[in-house]
Amino acid sequence: MIKGNAVVGQSGGPTSVINSSLAGVMSAVKNTANIETLYGMHFGIEGFMKEDLWDLSAQSDSVIDGLRQTPSSALGSSRHKVQESDFPRILEVFKKFNIRYFFLIGGNDTMDTIHRVEEYCSREGYELYGVGIPKTVDNDLYGTDHTPGFASAARYNALSVQQAGALARDMKKVDQFVVYQTIGRDAGWLAAATVLAKKQEDDAPHLIYCPERVFDADKFIEDAGKCIDKYGWVSVVVSEGLKYADGTPVSASQDADKFGNTEFGAMGGASVGLNVHKLLSNKLGLRGEFQITESLIMSAIDRAIPEDLQRAFDCGVKAVELAAAGTSAVMVTIEREEKEGKVSFQYGTAPLSSVAVRAKSMPEDYINEEGNFVTDKFLDYIKPLIPELPAFTRLEDKFA
């Protein structure tokens, strides 16, 4: 294998475990003979093209260990979509710093970047080994059972819905509903995971809506009304990517301006929760709350799952091992194995060409026929990823 230097970057939205993957790369490089210096892209591929690089090989072991418990993106992130005109400059920087090993931690757009850059270098006769490290709270990457960061974000959402549900249940004489919005433009994995908050029939959530299914406002009001009749309140979880049958985002405002044109929500995706709140208020004449966490779930190291942190680290280590062994144009994957009723996880690879710029939706049989909740098959999928949530105590039915 060729001797040279390596570079690693972080792209897209951060997670509570993305720095653990970075620590995995940094740790593995120390024990890799054919990699001399590891550079870090400061602010992703944009910083790389400006030669804004950090010498990660000079970092102490205490920094590497600390990164494993540090949220957000230590290197700084970027959402720059690589253009054809960028490739000559990228190759120029590779050559200047003798970089032969290329690692990026990110989602499907990030995998597309590695794929295209690696192909360009190959066409130009430059020997480069590019390996992707999966990351996204959305869990929408093809080729992997789940992505590092998803389980911790899912637990954050489930805990939030569980505790907000306890509050809403006890305040139902004041507020009759609560709407909780999750991240998820194209896939409903995070919304679906809030089902883990439910331990008894009347616990939150009562209704879960994912972008894989069309949102029917009339049916929703009917479903919510049934829950209110039965429990005295309703807990609703919605994904930010919900759309109506005609393709209109639920985030679009239902209010009209003075010209009769529909006004779109100024808060973008955050308007989904607001508009579902408006539907319940206007149609049922009830009072309620809405809760929108947005990027909070990406930086909650206090709610991170130890196994999630470890898998993120292992994915970073695996990427270096693969590249050092001559493997290129792949993404590290997490593979599920079930034996004798027990679930374990191993590491594998998927071609970057099959991962790049694609969103993995939830399977049809993970969502019920009504389109307003999840199935037992989804529970079988999610339970091995997230530890049991705490059990709260209720007063016993002992009346004076």
Question: How many domains, the chain?
Answer: 2
The CATH code of the domain that includes 277 is 3.40.50.460
Separation between Cα atoms, residue 249 and residue 245, nearest integer Å? 9
Quick check: 86 and 317 in contact, CB under 8 A?
no
Q: According to the annotation, is 136 in a ligand binding site?
A: yes
Residues 174 and 84 in one domain: no
The verdict on residue 97 lying in a domain is yes
Residues 204 and 114 in one domain: no
Q: Which residue numbers are catalytic?
A: 138
Q: According to the annotation, is 51 in a ligand binding site?
A: no
Of 26, 24, 46, 90, give the one whose Cα is nearest residue 318.
24
The CATH code of the domain that includes 38 is 3.40.50.450
pLDDT given for residue 298 in this prediction: 87
The verdict on residue 391 lying in a domain is no
Residues 125 and 71 in one domain: yes
Residues 194 and 95 in one domain: no
Residues 201 and 230 in one domain: yes
Of 347, 284, 342, give the one whose Cα is nearest residue 318.
347
The verdict on residue 252 lying in a domain is yes
Residues 349 and 319 in one domain: yes
pLDDT given for residue 265 in this prediction: 41
Residues 250 and 341 in one domain: no
Measure Cα distances from 103 to 218, 330, 348, 383 in Å.
Answer: 48, 10, 16, 31
Residues 194 and 225 in one domain: yes
Q: According to the annotation, is 316 in a ligand binding site?
A: no
Q: According to the annotation, is 108 in a ligand binding site?
A: yes
Quick check: 34 and 3 in contact, CB under 8 A?
yes
Quick check: 329 and 95 in contact, CB under 8 A?
no
pLDDT given for residue 258 in this prediction: 40
Amino acid at 287: R
Residue 85 lies in domain: 4-149+304-355
The widest CA-to-CA distance across the chain, in whole angstroms, is: 84
> Two tokens at 241?
């990517």
Residues 313 and 197 in one domain: no
Residues 251 and 380 in one domain: yes
The verdict on residue 210 lying in a domain is yes
Other C-beta atoms lying within 10 Å of the C-beta of residue 247 = 7
Q: According to the annotation, is 131 in a ligand binding site?
A: no
Q: According to the annotation, is 182 in a ligand binding site?
A: no
pLDDT by 10s per residue, the chain, length 400: 799 999 999 998 899 999 999 999 999 999 999 999 999 999 999 999 999 999 999 999 999 999 999 999 999 998 888 999 999 999 999 999 999 999 999 999 999 999 999 999 999 999 999 999 999 999 999 999 999 999 999 999 999 999 999 999 999 999 899 999 999 889 999 999 999 999 999 999 999 999 999 999 999 999 999 999 999 999 999 999 999 999 999 988 555 444 343 444 444 445 899 999 999 999 999 999 989 887 888 889 999 999 999 999 999 999 999 999 999 999 999 999 999 889 999 999 999 999 987 889 999 999 999 999 999 999 999 999 999 999 999 998 887 7
The verdict on residue 393 lying in a domain is no
Of 34, 59, 39, give the one whose Cα is nearest residue 103.
39
The verdict on residue 277 lying in a domain is yes
The verdict on residue 118 lying in a domain is yes
Quick check: 75 and 26 in contact, CB under 8 A?
no
Residues 179 and 124 in one domain: no
Element (H, E) at 341: none
Residues 178 and 266 in one domain: yes
The verdict on residue 399 lying in a domain is no
